[in-house]
Structure 1
Amino acid sequence: MTTAPSPRALDHPARDQIRLEAVLHALSDPVRLRIVRDMAREGAELSCSYFDLPVTKSTTTHHFRVLRESGVIQQVYRGTAKLNALRGDDLDALFPGLLGTVLSAAAAQAARAGGTLPADA
């Protein structure tokens, strides 16, 4: 007898299915880049409610979906919370130095802007 997948299980690309263009697209949006910067800074799984984003809840959900489907983050349900973790090991194995370079560039940009991302982020 096969077990049906949990209705709360989320689809993620396997490491070998992660595409550079999808990762770059996901990281090109200021809100998604802000999410990734926060996750990298904290270095731990974070619930969706951790993030204080200047967008609606439905738009926030969309941004997390883009990050998950591109392979940038892993999302799992733990109880009623959806936890998010950066797939840094997978990204570094596939695209060495990419994530670190993007995060460094984003930090430099934020520093030039007075410590924040652009207003639309």
Structure 2
Amino acid sequence: MPDVLVEHHGIPVLVCDAEGPAIATVQDALDHLIGGAFQGAQVVAVPAQRLDERFFDLSTGFAGAVLQKFANYRLRLVVVGDIDRHLAASAALPDLVREANRGRDVWFVPDLAGLVARLP
């Protein structure tokens, strides 16, 4: 299934396919996530399994670089799926997730229903 642009509560959301290309570099994020958002999306929902393991290891700086690109393009990023094993393996990641989920630009949700419930 390809990435699909849908609308929830009047907000266009690019729902990325779980089987799509892995996001292992910042260029991958630009090409496959941010580039896809130019279809008119304001929010990009990416399955957690598409993100390289380094995204969840904050010491690599990969997550920070990707989040900065989303901020630069004024797009919202939602990581969808179970990240419990990453949370258990990191002291810093739970803090990032908690702070991100308090805001409106980056969220970590268990499923698409969680994303829809959070949108205004």
**Structure 2-normalised TM-score?**
0.29
User: 1 or 2, which has the higher strand percentage?
Assistant: 2
**Structure 1-normalised TM-score?**
0.29
The higher radius of gyration belongs to 1
